[in-house]
Amino acid sequence: MEMPIGTFEVVAKDNKTKARRGRLYTRRGIIETPAFAPDATYAVLKHLSTHDLEKIGLQMILTNTYHVNIRPGLEVIKEHNGIHNFLKYDKPILTDSGGWQVFSLVYESKMGKVLDNGVKFRDHISGDEHFLTPQKAIDIQLTLDSDILMVLDYPVSPNANKKDNLYSISRTTAWAKISKDTFVKDERSRDKILYGIIQGANDKDLRKKSFEELEQIGFGGYGFGGVPLYDDVVEYTADLIPDSKLRYMMGSGTPDDIKKYVAMGYDLFDCVVPTRNARHGLLYTSEGEMRITNAKFKFDKKPVDEKCDCELCTTYSRSYLHHLFKIKEPLGRRLATIHNLRFYVKMMEEMRKLINH
């Protein structure tokens, strides 16, 4: 039976942890969970083509609403009839709302101001001022024509004081309601998915308050908002979300982090870790992390990972990749990025296999 777009179904649960295997139905196909989406911040994964993404076996990618709105800008995306056609990618794309930039650029770096009805930003590149409202965040994402959209939220530090934390929740709830109203009333939202984001920093009571307020509005899935610094808070937040709703750990993380969060019951992950670390010569392998720039790899003729089937591992030696990084050849960064993403894809596949029926 064909499921409605936005349906999330749990198809198996682990008998030792809270891990579960599921399926998320999108207009561009089914996403098997637990799933990982790499961050294509400016509608590109650095050094890779969409042909590379296909070979790697990724199910989906994430792109950044705030950054794409500035560069290349919505007028360019409109000319291409959406983000998929712009970057020639036909699988699901999730767009964040700009909420993380509220945290990183405004809350932390003071490059703007949070107001009741939105956020004033100073462009981190040009210095120009932008005003992002929950309505505009949804409009931008609908113009991008992404498959999964996020509400505009206001994250604060895990150790924020109670006043800041309460304001974060009040803005997140109010903006979530406006976001959903805007989404529902716009005909472009047909066959698209909108998720809420739970705030509350390091306060379990406030995490509960945030979730309950968002659940009154009603979403098919929820993200963990803010920095996941304390495991007990992260797990408590996952437990708040009903089994029938997708649980999204936003912005995490390393392979060990993802395994830990899957065991807590989270279904979806995104992060810059595999691609950013690849560009700096840090590779993930079946035997642990590898810093390919280390001198010991200069004469090493073995593949980076004998258990990996990526372009790097089936073609080149550790010695050659070491050489590429030493001479700062972009091919090295490309091959390392392909490898790390393939490692993540296989890691997620293995986790799905291990989750019991």
Q: Does residue 34 have a cis peptide bond before it, meaning omega lies within 30 degrees of 0?
A: yes
Q: For this structure, is 232 an active site residue?
A: no
Instruction: Note the helical H segments in the chain.
Output: 50-56, 65-68, 74-79, 83-87, 99-101, 134-144, 162-185, 204-217, 231-240, 255-264, 273-279, 311-315, 318-326, 330-354
Is the separation of the CB atoms in 312 and 304 below 8 Å? yes
Is the separation of the CB atoms in 242 and 261 below 8 Å? no
Q: Which of 96, 203, 267, 305 is catalytic?
A: 96
One-letter amino acid of 279? R
Q: For this structure, is 270 an active site residue?
A: yes
Q: Which of 145, 203, 270, 305 is catalytic?
A: 270
Is the separation of the CB atoms in 273 and 253 below 8 Å? yes
Is the separation of the CB atoms in 222 and 198 below 8 Å? yes
Measure the CA–CA gap between 98 and 13, rounded to whole angstroms: 33
Active site residues: 96, 270
